[in-house]
Chains A and B, each alone.
Chain A
């Protein structure tokens, strides 16, 4: 069966499809610069909190569920790899493989979130909520530990929110892929979503040592 001819027109304010594509990519990188300052601000609070309360901060950090955090790094890095493969596939005109790869990203992202949810459950069971009267760290280290867990909850919830948005965006480009709306020359939404996905991965790569590794041994 012959593939139907797909002609994509640039939007009226662009002179060509190429110009539109380059503009979209540039716009996404600029948006990511903004996201860097957003998460950077949060990490600045980590710097201050740990600098003033090293012992307590690390005492709190040693109660994190190390295996889930670490497995999740592997999952996200793999998902970025799979997404990059999807981009290769669409450039080669392999629609089915592209869709499979994008689906793989969604699956991996969902596994990440499921593990995260389980981890949060474990954290609640261990009374690691900042307001919990049975907070495990007591005494002079309690303050620093609670500062750590403030960072933990804010950081992981914000990251998870970005993951949810990311998965939604991947689902959107998967839908368009299945509707055969991309060609080897026009597939810029996949590129742009891929850049965002890579950034969500980067944030977790940075949060992993900040949350799980640096304070691992109090």
Chain B
């Protein structure tokens, strides 16, 4: 990358210090401020969803349960809905993506800044609607809302919940359109496609899914709302309707959605690892193509959620094959990251600890997904805790870990402050230990046959459940720590230089925090991404041996 001389005096006025009023934040079209607004919102929703998890794990300490079954049903439904749509789906893209993409491509803002602000308002409106649904009475259908329970036989706030999810879709679509068009059209001179950081490529891939999968969710919610309102609809078997059609429509969105909930994490990890190994990313072209492949092939695998729901065996075969195929690009990426680390001089700062945790946990989660993609195995494992453990390993062990890693990595850039490194590393380790203690037993529980979404269980499963709940409390401490030390660092943290990690990337060539226009002069890009020079020691070693 070209080195822009950074004049510290010119950096006096950053995007944070330009204006301090509340309205300057709430009406800001600056992508950096909107990223912060999103960060605050998703943190709130993360903790609301966390309450659901806490009640669930509390209940599962005893085989007979600790709360009423109806309450338990509402808790797992709330946890799923909040965590999926109001935390994970926006998480990295709306926060780190919004903040970093224009900086990484050398642009002054996104293509449609007002649309960006509108997407945040829609997101908040949707979240408040959902919050109302969950706490005015809740739903007990699970986050999947399968009819005919959801359309006729439940007493919950299905319509309000469906409305909230319907609204949140517009926010996703707006973000996706904004990112894709921005990446196509606002790149700085010299920033060719093959010079883009993988973080940008990952967000392009995610945006494809945002734009093309979310409308299916919107239509599904419309159909659900209609049937619930009028008692008549496309999913009513008494009329000749097809229940499995609902599942097709729902999973046509929700399976690509799980790639929304991992691809940005891949992007973050692909930035952190080269930086802390001070080494070029191994196989850049492979990582890029694999990101796009996952986004596309991910649309062909949705039927693996319905193997035992009554879909035809022939379509199940096709979906099973596609599920295996889509695992290949993910595996390739893992090999690329590990290849980047091979014989490198690694710095174990907090972001790197998160990245290492990601590789371990995501690999376990991904491999267990293949077990579920296997038709006969899935007959045994479907709707058991094996599935629950699998998706928590990929979504929480993967995406949330990557989110925390990215937050720590770009925290100096976003806030101009360094977080306390010791606490950062401690939190990363506590999260890793707590996470494994929570979810590893669940693989065993699922294999032994414990069903998911049940408030009670046979006594022989108690030991593993108690272990899981104990792990959850450790995990909770791990998640609480950053909530304490990150705001602390805003006031007491060391001031961050423009490039504290000695990383490549255009975002590190501008002051921390950046000025409102991002770059004081339009950058001209002359080299590819990840142009790290290896330390001379290693260079010498390689020449010798």
Q: Do B215 and A38 touch (CB < 8 A)? A: yes
Q: How many residues of B contact A (CB 8 A)?
A: 44
> Could you tell me the distance in whole angstroms from the C-beta of B220 to the nearest C-beta in chain A?
7
Bound CA span A35–B213, Å: 11
B136 at the binding interface (Cβ < 8 Å):
no
Please give me the residue from chain A that is nearest to B186 by CB atom. A13
Interface members, chain A 92-110 (any B CB < 8 Å): none
The contact string, 1 if C-beta is below 8 Å from chain B, for chain A 27-56, is 100110111011111101100110011001
| Cβ–Cβ contact B181 & A27, under 8 A | yes
Report the nearest B residue to A22, measured CB to CB.
B185
Question: By DSSP majority rule, is chain A's interface helix, strand, loop, or mixed?
Answer: helix
Q: Contacting A37 at CB < 8 Å: which of B215, B231, B245?
A: B215
Across-interface contacts of A19 in B (CB, < 8 A) = 185
Within 8 A of A (CB), among B205-232: 211-216, 218-220, 222-223, 226-227, 230-232
For B248, what are the chain A residues with a Cβ–Cβ distance below 8 Å?
Answer: 44
Q: Pick from A72-80, A146-154, A168-176 the stretch touching chain B.
A: A146-154
The answer to whether B239 touches A144 (Cβ under 8 A) is yes
* Contact partners of A142 in chain B: CB under 8 A: 239
Q: Is B398 an interface residue (CB 8 A)?
A: no
Give the residue of B176, B186, B214, B234 whose beta carbon is less than 8 angstroms from that of A49. Answer: B234
Please state if A45 and B245 are interface contacts (CB–CB under 8 Å).
yes
Interface footprint category on A: 35 or more
Contact yes or no, A146 B177, CB < 8 A: no
B213 and A23 within 8 A (CB):
no
Does B241 count as interface, using CB distance less than 8 angstroms? yes
Bound-complex Cα distance A14 to B230 (A): 49
Partner of B212, one of A23, A37, A39, A154: A37
Is A88 an interface residue, CB under 8 A from the partner?
A: no
Count of A-B contacts judged by CB separation below 8 Å: 111
Among B66-74, B102-110, B284-292, B345-353, the stretch that binds chain A is B102-110
- Residue A23 contacts which of B185, B220, B242 (CB distance < 8 angstroms)? B185
**How long is the Cα–Cα vector from A13 to B520 in the complex, in angstroms?**
13
Q: Does any Cβ of A come within 8 Å of B173's Cβ?
A: yes
Nearest residue (CB) in B for A154 is B226
Closest partner residue, chain A, to B109 (CB atom): A13
Contact of B108 among A12, A53, A146 (CB under 8 A): A12
Q: Which of B109, B185, B218 contacts A26 (CB 8 A)?
A: B185
B449 at the binding interface (Cβ < 8 Å): no
Docked Cα-Cα span, A144 to B184, in Å, equals 46
Q: How far is the CB of B528 from chain A (nearest CB, A)?
A: 23
Task: Give, as a whole number of angstroms, the nearest-CB distance from B256 to chain A.
Answer: 11
* B111 and A13 contact, CB distance less than 8 A: yes
| Contact residues, A125-159 vs B (CB, 8 A) | 130-131, 142-144, 146-147, 150-151, 153-154, 158
A206 to B362, CA, bound (A): 44
Q: Is B249 close to A, CB under 8 A?
A: yes
CB atoms of A34 and B233 under 8 A apart: no
Check if B242 sits within 8 Å of A52, measured CB to CB.
yes
* Complex partner residue of A13 from B108, B177, B231, CB under 8 angstroms: B108
Query: Cβ of B113 and Cβ of A26 under 8 Å apart?
Result: no
**Interface residue from A14, A27, A150, A153 paired with B177 (Cβ < 8 Å):** A27
Partner of A34, one of B211, B238, B245: B211
* Residues of B contacting A: mostly: helix
A154 touches B222 (CB 8 A): yes
The reply to whether B216 and A37 form a contact with Cβ atoms under 8 Å apart is: yes
Q: Given A143-B239, A147-B234, does the pair A45, B177 have CB atoms closer than 8 Å? A: no
State the Cβ distance, B193 to closest chain A Cβ, in Å. Answer: 16
B216 and A41 contact, CB distance less than 8 A = yes
Q: Which residues of A contact B212 (CB under 8 A)?
A: 33-34, 37
- Which residue of B102, B185, B219, B233 contacts A38 across the interface (Cβ within 8 Å)? B219
B240 near A56: Cβ-Cβ < 8 Å: yes
Q: Which of B249-305 contact A (CB under 8 A)?
A: 249, 252
Give B306 Cβ to nearest chain A Cβ, in Å.
Answer: 14
Quote the shortest CB–CB distance from A136 to chain B (angstroms). 15
Q: In the complex, are the beta carbons of A38 and B234 less than 8 A apart?
A: no
The answer, yes or no, to whether B180 is at the interface (CB within 8 Å) is yes
Q: Contacts of B218 on A, CB cut-off 8 Å?
A: 38
Across the interface, which residues of B come within 8 angstroms of A143, CB to CB? 238-241
Report if B112 contacts A (CB, 8 A): yes
- Chain B 171-204, CB within 8 Å of chain A: the 1/0 string? 0010011001100111000000000000000000
Contact of A147 among B109, B186, B240 (CB under 8 A): B240
Contacts of B249 in A (CB 8 A): 41, 44-45
| B231–A150 touching, CB < 8 Å | no
Residue numbers in B under 8 Å from A146 (CB-CB): 232, 239
Contact B245 A23 (CB under 8 A): no
Give Cα distance in the complex from A38 to B214, angstroms. 8
A36 CB to nearest chain B CB (Å): 8
Known: A37-B213, A48-B234. A154 touches B241 (CB 8 A): no
Contact A45 B234 (CB under 8 A): yes
Q: Mark B51-88, 1 if CB is under 8 A from A, else 0.
A: 00000000000000000000000000000000000000
Other 13 A-B pairs with CB < 8 A, given A33-B211, A41-B215, A44-B248: A13-B111, A13-B186, A23-B181, A23-B184, A39-B219, A42-B222, A48-B245, A49-B242, A53-B240, A143-B241, A147-B234, A151-B234, A153-B226
A-B CB contact pairs (8 Å), 7 listed: A23-B184, A23-B186, A34-B177, A56-B240, A130-B230, A131-B232, A150-B234
